[in-house]
Amino acid sequence: MAESRTFTGLLAATAVGVYLLVLAGATTTLTDAAAACTTWPLCDGPVAVTNTALLIAWGHRLVAAAVGLLAVVTTVVGLRSGCRGRVKAAIILGVALYPVQIALGALVATSGGAAMLPGAHLAVGMGIFGSFVLGLAWHLEAETGSDDEDPVEDPSLAPEPVDDTPDRTPTLTTRQRIVGTAFAYFRLMKPRLMWLLCLVAAAGMALAAGQTLTVRTVLLTLGGGVLSIGASGTFNHVLERDIDKRMDRTSDRPIATHQIPVRNALAFGLLLSLASLGLFWQVNALVAVLGLTAIVFYSVIYTLVLKPNTVQNTVIGGAAGALPALIGWVAADGSVGLPGVVLAVVIFLWTPAHFYNLALAYKDDYEAGGFPMMPVVRGETETRKHIVYYLGATLIASGVLGVLTSLGWLFAATSALLGAVFLWAVVRLHHEQTEAAAFRAFHASNAYLGAVLIAIVVDALAL
Closest CA to 355 of 427, 249, 446: 446
Closest CA to 273 of 319, 228, 233: 228
What gap in Å lies between CA 146 and CA 133, rounded to an integer?
A: 21
Task: Supply the pLDDT for residue 154.
Answer: 45
Burial class (CB in 10 A: 0-12, 13-18, 19+), 202: buried
Task: Supply the pLDDT for residue 162.
Answer: 46
CA angle, 301 as apex, 388 and 392 as ends, to 5°? 15
What gap in Å lies between CA 403 and CA 122, rounded to an integer?
A: 9
Architecture, CATH, for domain 191-461: Orthogonal Bundle (1.10)
Task: Supply the pLDDT for residue 20.
Answer: 84
What gap in Å lies between CA 462 and CA 458, rounded to an integer?
A: 5
- List the domain boundaries for the chain: 2-144, 191-461
Q: Do the beta carbons of residue 197 and residue 295 sit within 8 Å?
A: no
State the angle between helix axes of 215-239 and 262-283 in degrees (0 to 180), rounded to the nearest 10.
Answer: 160
Amino acid at 68: G
Task: Supply the pLDDT for residue 52.
Answer: 66
Instruction: Summarize pLDDT for 361-415 with one digit per residue, the tens.
Output: 999 989 988 899 999 999 999 999 999 999 999 999 998 898 888 787 788 889 9
Three-state DSSP state, 354: helix
* Segments of the chain with pLDDT less than 70: 1-3, 26-36, 44-54, 112-118, 147-170, 211, 463
Instruction: Summarize pLDDT for 299-329 with one digit per residue, the tens.
Output: 999 999 999 999 999 999 999 999 999 999 9
Q: Which residues, including other chains, have CB under 8 Å from residue 55's CB and lie 6 or more apart? A: 47, 49
Three-state DSSP state, 225: helix
Q: Which residues, including other chains, have CB under 8 Å from residue 8's CB and lie 6 or more apart? A: 136, 139, 140, 143, 427
The three-state (H, E, C) secondary structure of 232-269, written as one string: HHHHHHHHCHHHHCCCCCCCCCCCCCCCCCHHHHHHHH
Backbone angles phi, psi at 37, to 5 degrees: -140, 90
Q: How far is CA 387 from CA 86, 183, 397, 412, in A?
A: 19, 35, 15, 22
pTM of the full structure: 0.86
What is the b/e burial string over 128-148, where b = at least 16 CB atoms within 10 angstroms of the residue's CB? bbbbbbbbbbbbbbebbbeee
Q: How far is CA 354 from CA 76, 308, 446, 456, in A?
A: 32, 19, 7, 20
Cα of first residue to Cα of last residue in the chain, in angstroms, is 47
Task: Supply the pLDDT for residue 311.
Answer: 92
